[in-house]
Structure 1
Amino acid sequence: MRELRQEMQSADATLNSKALSHLDQHFIRYVDQGTLPGFLLPVARKGRVAHLTLHGSRNRVAGPPAETDTVWRMHSMTKPVTSVAAPPLSEHGAPDLDAPRGTCRPTSAAP
């Protein structure tokens, strides 16, 4: 596996530097509040990393700093993935989020 590093400037990738800063500050707050021990935030555009932020430590107990090769513990990702995927599909009529549970109605093909 190759080393994770920033490969281009965010401006060259047409990424909004103010929005990226806001995103960094959002996660830094979680570290400062003790909700997260640390984080690694890469943002890529067209397959190249255009923004990379490391902050905090690898874990709450040992405390070594977060690095690009830190292995992060992840829990079930079903709910986050579904919550991102459902709204665009719903705009096209599939699935019907307002239908009673256990019912199904024919829908047009999703994009």
Structure 2
Amino acid sequence: MNSDLQQRMEAVLADALDQQEMSGASVLVMKDGKTLCRLEAGYADRKAGRKIKCDTIYRLYSMTKPITAVAAMILLERGELCLQTPVYEYIPSFSGGKVWRDGRLEEAIRPVTIHDLLNMTSGLSYGDSDTETERRTRELFCEMERRLITESPMTTREFAEKAGAIPL
């Protein structure tokens, strides 16, 4: 193990815990198949006083986002992806984008780009408030859930095409 890296990571985690940025974390840093740093800090359950251990099970949400971002950065490094490419070049329903502005549907000023998706600034929503965009997004999520256990579950591609057609 790399003791310098271990000490720096311990300091980062201690600071994050002191600042109450997190309750706890488990960290593993590997390179070329070798463990450089492994540590646990904080609590899995603060109220119960249960500390984090290396085998603590976490509920993780949105974990495809960092994996997708890493894959995109690899493609960027290889020159196979440009961050300014409009999403409609990959998902046609993103062309001719519309936005809700002051209760009216208008043409988008510019297309949504790969950079927008990676930066979480695309205007896509989770359907958790009460705008027209949110309502339509909720309907899409409901359709996806209804079809999940049927003979024709919604594919990722189909979901993306339908999401691209929802005004931002």
Q: Same fold (TM over 0.5)?
A: yes
Is there any run of 5+ residues in structure 1 with no aligned partner, and where? 1-8, 11-16, 105-111
Aligned positions of 1:1-111 closer than 5 A: 9-10=1-2, 17-103=3-89
CA spacing shift, 1:50–1:93, aligned 2, 3 Å = closer
> Which has more helix, going by share of residues?
2
SS at match of 1:95: coil
**Taking CA–CA contacts closer than 8 Å with sequence separation of 6 or more, which of the two structures ends up with the larger relative contact order?**
1
Task: Indicate if the aligned counterparts of 2:23 and 2:43 stay in contact, CA closer than 8 A.
Answer: yes
TM-score after normalising by structure 2: 0.45
TM-score after normalising by structure 1: 0.63
RMSD of Structure 2 on Structure 1 (CA): 2.3
Deviations 1:19-70 (A, max 9, x none): 4432332232222222211111122345453422111111233221111221
| Structure whose alpha-carbon radius of gyration is higher | 2
The structural deviation recorded for 1:89 is 0.8
Q: What is the distance in 2 between the residues matched to 1:20 and 1:84?
A: 24
Letter in 2 for 1:55: A
Q: What is the distance in 2 between the residues matched to 1:62 and 1:77?
A: 26
Task: Indicate if the aligned counterparts of 2:5 and 2:37 stay in contact, CA closer than 8 A.
Answer: no
CA spacing shift, 1:47–1:91, aligned 2, 3 Å = closer
